[in-house]
Amino acid sequence: MADLTAALARRFAEKLAAAGLTDPGAAVAACLDDRLAFSRPSPHEELLAGLVDRLGVGCVLLAPPAQPHRTILEFLAGREAPAIRPRDCETRTFFHDIPVIAEPTVEAAAAALSRRKGAYLPGVGILAHGALSPEQAFVTVSSVAFAGFVKFFADFLAASRAGTVDAAYGAAFAAACRNLPPPPTVVPHLARGPFTDRDTMLAAMAQAGRATVELGLVDSVFGNISYNLDGVLAISQTGAALDDLPGAMDLVPLDGSSCAGLTASSELAAHAALAALDGRQAILHGHPRFAVIMSMDCEDLATCPRRERCHVDCARERYAGATPIVPGEVGCGPRGLVHTMPPALAADGGRSGVIVCGHGVFTMGAHDFGDALAALCAIETSCRARYFAALGIPTETP
């Protein structure tokens, strides 16, 4: 049992590195079954053991973030303590804020983690707990890194427009930019459609999901994908890892004749609405970072009375280049993106993509995922260029 638990801990520590969230070997996972097991020896063992005990959970992850997340989170923690308030929509749905732990004691860390899923301990890393499985903690680490990234760059642009960037922010920004992974350029070839049988279709979806994660256009635990095969929508399940889709897709009849979509992505309704409006078969949804950041850049940000609610009800018609930006929350609520995104993407005979404000991008392909992935990539690349252009930085390495 103890060996299995240690293996589980190692698997999740390695998963964090594979996702680029930590440097290889940097993360520590503490998992409890009958006994507590660590993924590796660490000077923080006592802290983690104390947290597992105090929180009564099965797993705690300590993830010293890889660059540029380290620079970003250290800066935000210093500036925003006692808590970092995420600005992107997805993180705001599931997290209230990210507490900054004042000192590396069990007491302080337990106080933060007893009220939130994850927290940041300056100089050490992201701490997250999983009551049910290490998977929960992994999702939290990924969300904290994403939320920090988006907030850091979005706030910097806003501060730059307002002329309030100080020396520390400038230095942190330069350091973060030096550590940015290069923008995706080469889009891999994907299986060509139309797909006519389920197995081929499901394999193509799994391939496209993997490619989207590998290009950095979504973190594996987010995003979703679907394909309309003769009125049956194959769609990734809620919480499915986009780079590990086999076995995690539902087949949902679009005529609503069954409840097979009960476990489907929280955006099933949006995918179905889109399938009804637009004949293209393939839908891809990712969270490319600069597209999300640029969707939150509004010229009215200082004066707009709804500036705290852009992501749910912005009155302006907005674009990033030719790509429309629409408001909308996750899921099917009255302010859900199900009401805004599908008509925008299907407009004008079918657009290449739509950005949901503060959230992510939806794209389509006529019969396969090749065009959908290319469009997702192109939107991110152009948003990234726009971001630096808006700062007056022609090439992004300062």
Partner 1 sequence: MEHPTAHILFCDLSAGACRREPLDPELARQAPGGRALAVALLAARPRAVWDAPDAAVVLAPGALAGFDLPGVSFAALAGTNPHTGGVLTVAVPGGLGRALARLHLAAVVVSGRAAAPTALFLDVDGARLLPLGAAAGQGTSAVMASMPAHDGALVAGPAALAGSTLAGLWADGLHPVGPGGAALLLTAKNCFAVAVLAQGEGPVPADPVALAGARAAMERLVAAAPALAGPCGFGRYGTAALLDLTAGRRMLPTRHFRETVFEAAGRLSAPGLFARLSPRAAGCPGCPTPCRHVTANGTVLPDGDAWSHLTALLGLADPDLTVAAYAACRQAGLFAPGAAALLAGRAEAAGRDLAPDALLPALAALVAEGPSVSPSAMAVKGVALPAFDPRGAYGLALSLAVGTSGPDAWGGLCLGHELLRKPVATDRFSFAGKARAVFLGENAAAVAASLGGCPLYGLAVGLEEWALALSAARGEAVGAAELAGLGKRTVLVERTINARAGLGVADDDLPARFFAEPGSSGEGIVVAPLPREEFLAAQAAYYRLRGLDADGRPAAEAAALESPWPI
Contacts to Zn ion by CB under 5 A? 298, 304, 310, 314, 360
CA angle (124 as vertex; 156, 3 as ends), nearest 5 = 130
Nearest distance from residue 340's CB to partner 1, in Å? Answer: 14
Q: Residue 129 touches which of partner 1, Zn ion, none (CB < 5 to 8 A by kind)? A: none
Q: Residue 272 touches which of partner 1, Zn ion, none (CB < 5 to 8 A by kind)? A: partner 1
Q: Quick one: tokens of 107?
A: 């007491």
| Exposed/middle/buried for residue 348 (C-beta within 10 Å: 0-12, 13-18, 19+) | exposed
Which of 264/320 has CB closer to partner 1?
264
Which residues contribute to the site for partner 1 (CB under 8 A)? 4, 32-34, 54-58, 92-94, 96, 110-111, 114-117, 130-133, 135-136, 139, 237-240, 248, 252, 256-266, 268-269, 272, 329-333, 336
Length of the chain: 398
Q: How many other C-beta atoms lie within 10 A of the C-beta of residue 78?
A: 12
Which of 91/295 has CB closer to partner 1?
91
Nearest distance from residue 107's CB to partner 1, in Å? Answer: 12
β-strands 353-356, 323-326 pairing: parallel
Q: Residue 177 touches which of Zn ion, partner 1, none (CB < 5 to 8 A by kind)? A: none
Nearest distance from residue 291's CB to Zn ion, in Å? Answer: 12
Nearest distance from residue 279's CB to partner 1, in Å? Answer: 20
Nearest distance from residue 282's CB to partner 1, in Å? Answer: 20
Which of 257/395 has CB closer to partner 1?
257
Q: Residue 183 touches which of Zn ion, partner 1, none (CB < 5 to 8 A by kind)? A: none
Nearest distance from residue 266's CB to partner 1, in Å? Answer: 5
- Which residues, other chains included, contact 392 with Cβ-Cβ below 8 Å and sequence gap of 6+? none
Nearest distance from residue 222's CB to Zn ion, in Å? Answer: 6
Q: Residue 269 touches which of partner 1, Zn ion, none (CB < 5 to 8 A by kind)? A: partner 1
Which of 57/73 has CB closer to partner 1?
57
- Alpha helices (runs of H) in 19-65, residue ranges in sequence order: 45-55
Residue 13's alpha-carbon distances to 54, 61, 314, 387, 392, in angstroms, are 22, 8, 40, 33, 39
Nearest distance from residue 379's CB to Zn ion, in Å? Answer: 14
Q: Residue 314 touches which of partner 1, Zn ion, none (CB < 5 to 8 A by kind)? A: Zn ion
Q: Residue 132 touches which of partner 1, Zn ion, none (CB < 5 to 8 A by kind)? A: partner 1
Which of 48/314 has CB closer to Zn ion?
314
Which of 162/174 has CB closer to Zn ion?
162
Nearest distance from residue 269's CB to partner 1, in Å? Answer: 5
Residue with tokens 């990539």: 377
Residue 346's alpha-carbon distances to 92, 119, 271, 283, 326, in angstroms, are 27, 40, 12, 12, 13
Q: Residue 106 touches which of partner 1, Zn ion, none (CB < 5 to 8 A by kind)? A: none
Q: Residue 258 touches which of Zn ion, partner 1, none (CB < 5 to 8 A by kind)? A: partner 1
Q: Quick one: tokens of 202?
A: 């499901």
The edge-to-edge listing of strands for the beta sheet with 224-229 is 249-253, 232-236, 224-229, 282-286, 360-365, 353-356, 323-326, 318-320
Can you point out the beta strands (E) in the chain?
Answer: 28-32, 36-38, 59-63, 83-84, 98-99, 118-121, 125-130, 224-229, 232-236, 249-253, 282-286, 318-320, 323-326, 353-356, 360-365
Which of 110/176 has CB closer to partner 1?
110
Q: Quick one: tokens of 109?
A: 């860390």
Which of 231/333 has CB closer to partner 1?
333
The C-alpha atoms of residue 102 and residue 274 are separated, in whole angstroms, by: 47
The C-alpha atoms of residue 371 and residue 173 are separated, in whole angstroms, by: 33
Which of 32/191 has CB closer to partner 1?
32
395 in Cβ contact with 177 (< 8 Å)? no
| Exposed/middle/buried for residue 134 (C-beta within 10 Å: 0-12, 13-18, 19+) | buried
